[in-house]
Amino acid sequence: MKQLITGDEAVARGAWEAGVRFASAYPGTPSTEILENIATYKEIHSEWAPNEKTALESVIGASLAGARAIASMKHVGLNVAADPFFTFAYMGVNAGAVVVTADEPGQFSSQNEQDNRNYAKAAMTPMFEPSDSQECKDMLLEAFEISEKHDIPVLFRMTTRVCHSKSLVELGERQDVPIKPYVKNIKKYVAVPANARPMKVKVQENQAILRFYSNNCQWNRIEMNEPNIGIICSGDCYLYAREVFGDGASYLKLGFTNPLPDDLIREFASKVEKIYIIEENDPYIEDHVRALGIACDGKNIFPLNGEMKPEVIRSVMFGEEYTLDDEVRAAVIPRPPTLCAGCPHRGFFYELGRRKNVMVSGDIGCYTLASGAPYHAMETTVCMGASISLGHGAQQIFDTIEGNKMRVVSVIGDSTFFHTGINSLLDVAYNKSNLITVVLDNRITAMTGQQDNPGTGLTIQGEITEAVSIEAIARAFGFKNVRVIDPNQLSEVKETLDWALALQEPSVIITRWPCALKKQNALDKEEFKGSFTSVYWVNEEVCIGCKKCTRTGCPAIVFQFEKKKSSIDPEKCVGCSVCAQVCPVHAIRKVEA
């Protein structure tokens, strides 16, 4: 049976068909849906890990214990998991293990545009690069075979378009892959120098064997048409190139890209007149082709950044300028993402943005929007967890300056705190900086679309589990100044910030209120009874048109210019009351039932 499914869904299906028994991931666009779909198969034990490193390490354990296992993550997640990844490549597997990386050419929702193919090369792991959903499934099945045959984890590299595009997939049955016995093998699994040196040699020898595979496998193939143009490409770029050139060019279509197939590349080069390398992100294939002494055009003519969409290829190759329609461009206005109506971050940032002599060190989540209008209340974002440690370093330096008035407020979400913020908070406790740490605890991993995390009390497969207390963590680390507040109560936020700023020692503030989009669980319903049930309205007779309420950035507030009065869209308002607290004349009132 054929189904139209996304690349992410196809990877999940492939994992199931491959007999995978264990899957772990941390949510991250565009990889999130892989584990969400895997978790729907009851045969696969699935887990949201606190971060990508723990995800991969538990996958190593599952593999050693004899079960096929898969870890999935976005590209920057592999930076977090890079430490175990490199050494896992040395050690090898017991049952097959695959690491999925979802790269983001074009940076739709990521902090950088790194090319994770470089990781496969650096760690000397085999790598697959599927173009469409069928290949996602087929190559994943093969990846487990390769992993076991060559005793090494496999990197499975996808990109946003491959993850989120749907194409037809022929579905298969689940293979029965029994759990392999675990055999104690200290020389293989203990990577101390004496063991790791021969491990490295084994991996290097493996590369030579895998190069033979690369030259001869079905995933790397020459498609001969017209010999005047020869295109070497992989992943979604193959589809874009086919779209532009059709049968008017010949292709070397690469699906297994570490090690690259030297013989096949040479053969292709001998058959075509001119070679073009079409790839997104880094000149990964191109550098290799050039190193083989083969002349080609690549990043010297194609853009170094963004997606290699058909119109981009057409413009470079044929000079077909994709002219911009100035009149339309001039008329189009932006539709920037905003914190939702009822977002618990709003009240906190409204207050924080008004503070002077404060540096706000931020992190990654919906709340990163606080760096924009109307709050302008976040001034750094680097990577997951960096808010606290970066803020710690900054505060340490500020405090060496005589007469310093600068205080650093580090702002981090609950899921990001569990991800890598905990380590950073330990740094603050241990090295005694005067930092104010704020954990915006909206009871869910929100930005990636509502995933449970160690604080929510539920696993990905819906089992009840311990809901970890952020407050207890802070106290266990030795913080004496810890407060849990309701971020919708502006007076409470204001008073708490005053308190923290007056202290000459570190503090931890936890704002605890659920995301407005969260499907509340039993615990939430009990704790936040009556949340998001009321609606507010503007009494136009009282409203003075000062627009203060619009400065909360709430999408439910509509200013009526002709009347010079504010109004609230009752379809959007969920009753957080922040605007009512900001209004200087009490024109905003609760709709009485």
Query: Which regions of 256-399 does DSSP assign to beta strands (E)?
Result: 256-258, 274-278, 358-361
Burial (Cβ within 10 Å: 0-12, 13-18, ≥19) of residue 541 = exposed
Q: Nearest 10 degrees: CA dihedral of 93, 98, 101, 102?
A: 180
Of residues 205, 243, 247, 379, which one binds other proteins by CB under 8 A?
A: 243
Minimum CB–partner distance for residue 323 and other proteins (Å)? 9
Q: Could you tell me which residues come within 8 angstroms of residue 180 by beta carbon, excluding any fewer than 6 positions away? A: 66, 67, 94, 95
Task: Give, for 310, the enclosing helix (H) or strand (E).
Answer: helix 310-318
Closer CB to other proteins, 5 or 140, in the complex: 5
Residue 158: helix, strand or coil by DSSP?
strand
Minimum CB–partner distance for residue 51 and other proteins (Å)? 20
CA-wise closest residue to 395 among 364, 423, 428: 428
Q: Could you tell me which residues come within 8 angstroms of residue 329 by beta carbon, excluding any fewer than 6 positions away? A: none
Q: Nearest 10 degrees: CA dihedral of 492, 498, 501, 506?
A: -40
242 binds other proteins (CB under 8 A): yes
Closer CB to other proteins, 198 or 337, in the complex: 337
Question: Phi first, then psi: what are they for 445, rounded to 5°?
Answer: -90, 105
Stretch of 115-123, 161-169, 193-201, 227-235 contacting other proteins, by CB under 8 A: 161-169
Closer CB to other proteins, 45 or 309, in the complex: 309
* Residue 585: how many other CB atoms lie within 10 Å: 11
314 binds other proteins (CB under 8 A): yes
CA distance 251 to 468: 53
Closer CB to other proteins, 60 or 162, in the complex: 162
Of residues 113, 548, 555, 589, which one binds other proteins by CB under 8 A?
A: 555
Minimum CB–partner distance for residue 390 and other proteins (Å)? 22
The number of angstroms, rounded, from the C-alpha of 368 to the middle of its chain's C-alpha atoms is 14
The number of angstroms, rounded, from the C-alpha of 547 to the middle of its chain's C-alpha atoms is 36
Is residue 507 within 8 A of residue 391, CB to CB? The reply is no
Which position has the token pair 């892989």? 34
Within residues 78-107, the interface with other proteins by CB under 8 A covers none
Tell me, residue by residue from 517 to 536, as one string, x for binding to other proteins by CB under 8 A and - for no binding.
Answer: x-------------------
Of residues 62, 76, 123, 366, which one binds other proteins by CB under 8 A?
A: 366
CA-wise closest residue to 57 among 26, 17, 34: 26
371 binds other proteins (CB under 8 A): no
Minimum CB–partner distance for residue 310 and other proteins (Å)? 4
Of residues 65, 87, 164, 537, which one binds other proteins by CB under 8 A?
A: 164
Task: Give, for 532, the enclosing helix (H) or strand (E).
Answer: none
448 binds other proteins (CB under 8 A): yes
Of residues 309, 346, 419, 565, which one binds other proteins by CB under 8 A?
A: 309
557 binds other proteins (CB under 8 A): yes
336 binds other proteins (CB under 8 A): yes
Minimum CB–partner distance for residue 334 and other proteins (Å)? 7
CA distance 508 to 414: 13
Within residues 202-241, the interface with other proteins by CB under 8 A covers 236, 239-240
Within residues 17-56, the interface with other proteins by CB under 8 A covers 29
Closer CB to other proteins, 159 or 433, in the complex: 159
Q: Which amino acid is at 561?
A: F
322 binds other proteins (CB under 8 A): yes
Of residues 311, 471, 492, 495, which one binds other proteins by CB under 8 A?
A: 311
Give the binding site for other proteins (CB under 8 A).
Answer: 4, 29, 108-109, 132, 161, 164-168, 236, 239-240, 242-243, 309-311, 314, 322, 324-325, 327-328, 331-341, 366, 369, 373-374, 446-450, 517, 547, 550-551, 553, 555, 557-559, 561, 572
